[in-house]
């Protein structure tokens, strides 16, 4: 199997990151891969926020957990508590993918998200795609976080990707061939 297919086959959602920071070279390689992702008519309707400030990530995480703890429905909060009580799993790097909302931007951002996870896997790093990374951007400190994260006017959060060194690995999910129909 070639390197790309191996990365695809071995990638899984890591929820157990070491606090080891990414090197500048690792970060730049992932950003380069993200910016090389295809988009419809090459419109590139995205903006990336790469956060390696561990104190900010931890503060952001705590704000998100606080919002979940205060929610009427405790399902999400309990699920996160069962996974160690962290929204961002101690990741040393968080990439927020933002969209300008045009056309098929959400699809383009999804492609970019997958490109980021595969780039991380190819570098021997773990990743986790996290929609919950948007929780603090909808809470009482939303304006503060948007300012601190330098979120550009006209862009909104689509998805987050956590990246870091894996503490303990796990097997990728099993392939479900019942979800495939072949014609011809």
Q: What are the domain boundaries of the chain?
A: 13-167
Token reading at 69: 């703890």
Give the mean pLDDT of the chain. Answer: 95
How much is the pLDDT for 120? 98
CATH number, domain 13-167, options 3.90.1150.10, 3.40.109.10, 3.30.450.20, 3.40.309.10: 3.40.109.10
Separation CA 92–CA 123 (nearest Å) = 15
Q: Kindly report the backbone phi and psi dihedral angles of residue 75, in degrees, each rounded to the nearest multiple of 5, phi listed first.
A: -60, -50
Q: What percent of the chain has pLDDT over 70?
A: 100
The arithmetic mean of pLDDT across residues 129-153, rounded, is 96
| C-alpha distances out from residue 79 to 39, 76, 83, Å | 34, 5, 6
Separation CA 3–CA 5 (nearest Å) = 6
Q: What is the pTM of this model?
A: 0.94
Give the tens place of pLDDT for each residue, 57-97: 999 999 999 999 999 999 999 999 999 999 999 999 999 99
Q: DSSP letter at 167? A: S
């Amino acid at each position: 199997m070639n390197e790309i297919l191996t990365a695809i086959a071995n990638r899984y959602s890591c929820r157990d990151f070491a606090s080891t920071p990414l090197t500048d070279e690792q970060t730049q390689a992932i950003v380069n891969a993200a910016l090389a992702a295809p988009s419809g008519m090459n419109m590139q309707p995205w903006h990336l926020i790469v956060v390696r400030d561990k104190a900010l990530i931890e503060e952001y995480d705590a704000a998100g957990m606080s919002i979940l703890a205060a929610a009427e429905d405790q399902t999400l909060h309990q699920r996160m508590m069962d996974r160690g009580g962290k929204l961002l799993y101690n990741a040393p790097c968080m990439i927020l993918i933002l969209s300008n909302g045009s056309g098929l931007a959400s699809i383009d951002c999804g492609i970019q998200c997958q490109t980021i996870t595969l780039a991380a896997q190819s570098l021997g790093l773990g990743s986790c795609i996290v929609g919950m990374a948007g929780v603090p951007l909808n809470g009482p400190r939303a304006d503060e976080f948007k300012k601190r994260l330098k979120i550009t006017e006209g862009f909104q959060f689509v998805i987050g990707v956590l990246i870091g060194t894996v503490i303990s690995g796990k097997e990728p999910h099993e392939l479900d061939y019942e979800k495939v129909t072949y014609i011809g």
